[in-house]
Amino acid sequence: MTGEVHLHRHGAVGHVSLNRPKALHALTQGMCEAMSEKLLAWRADDGFAAVLLDHAEGRGFCAGGDVQLVRRSALEDGGAAGRAFFHAEYQLNHLMFTYPKPIVAFMDGVTMGGGVGISQPATYRVATENTLFAMPEGAIGLFPDVGAGWYLPRLRGRTGVFLALTGARLDGAECLWAGLATHYLASDALAEAKARIIVDPTDITAILNELSATPPDARIAGNAERIDRLFASDSLEEIIAALSADPSDWAAKELKAVAAKCPATSKVALRQFAEGLVQPDFAAEMASEYRIAARMMLRPDFVEGVRAVLVDKDNNPQWNPADPPGVAADMLDAIFAPLSPDEEWSPNAPL
């Protein structure tokens, strides 16, 4: 696994570098397990102070998870391999969220899906001019997972709902505005930031503050009022109606984006976000998301969505149900229902 993720240490600082450049560093089960194993070992070491998380080469940061594997699993083994992948990935997400020592994630490039799951739990989340953030699961019939049900509804206003239902892509400045990033640095300052943190991991805040650059204007800020107003409802039909009634070109563009996404995904996300706001802790959120993942990966929408986007690349998925009214409440109840006790998700061993 050392080929797909580099795990090494510089004195008191651990360094995790994703290394699948041809797949934009998308996570595999083996990568997740290797990262968890090393983070657990470092966690137990009193001489260890911080973690740096980046990508080793090529374009970064992390484009997601291994959805092709999950699709094959849904078609060939009843989802067993897919569930194993999600279980390992969510354990890594939870371990990072509860990690007692600071993690610095450098979101220098594409940060989508699984990349969101390993950057958002970090204490420090560094965006650059190369950052491209999105949760595009609605395009493939999955759902915004890896802790998105915790993070996105806690963003300012209805930004998180907007991101989930449209799949909108944010640049680094927009990530800083939204709270998805804690700092904005020019990419050519990252090497210095890492080197200085390795020398003095007790001074991370001051180092990142000193090296921070003034970002461009965040484009999304100009649409914040529209987002909060038009995406205010927890009903997909009401959001579509609000967008349809608004005469602006912006609303028409976002209506088209919402309408193109999998209706079941969108309704799952809206319920997931409402429940995520009242989950008692992150472990409960991940347990809920694992239940959803175990069901959503076996629905025809996921197989069809990956076919349309990644296999045949015709970008013309045929969703089933095809429209929001077809996604009934009992369907959602079944997706969110508990699994049998021996199938439920569990976190890594606590401290």
Residues designated as active site: 65, 114, 137, 145
What's the rounded Cα separation, in Å, for the pair 273 and 275?
A: 5
Question: Could you tell me whether strands 5-10 and 13-18 are parallel, antiparallel, or unpaired per DSSP bridges?
Answer: antiparallel
Question: Which residues have CB under 8 Å from 15's CB, separation 6+?
Answer: 6, 7, 8, 9, 51, 52, 54
* Closest alpha carbon to 87 in 297, 270, 329: 297
Amino acid at 47: G
What's the rounded Cα separation, in Å, for the pair 319 and 77?
A: 23
What's the rounded Cα separation, in Å, for the pair 305 and 46?
A: 46
Return the SS3 of 124. Answer: strand
Question: Which residues have CB under 8 Å from 221's CB, separation 6+?
Answer: 174, 177
What's the rounded Cα separation, in Å, for the pair 140 and 307?
A: 8
- Reading the block at residue 198, the tokens are 């390795």
Alpha helices in the chain (DSSP H): 29-43, 67-76, 80-97, 114-119, 148-151, 159-166, 172-178, 190-199, 204-211, 224-230, 236-245, 249-260, 263-276, 282-296, 300-306, 329-336
What's the rounded Cα separation, in Å, for the pair 300 and 305?
A: 8
- Reading the block at residue 316, the tokens are 């013309």
Cβ 57 vs Cβ 111: under 8 Å = no
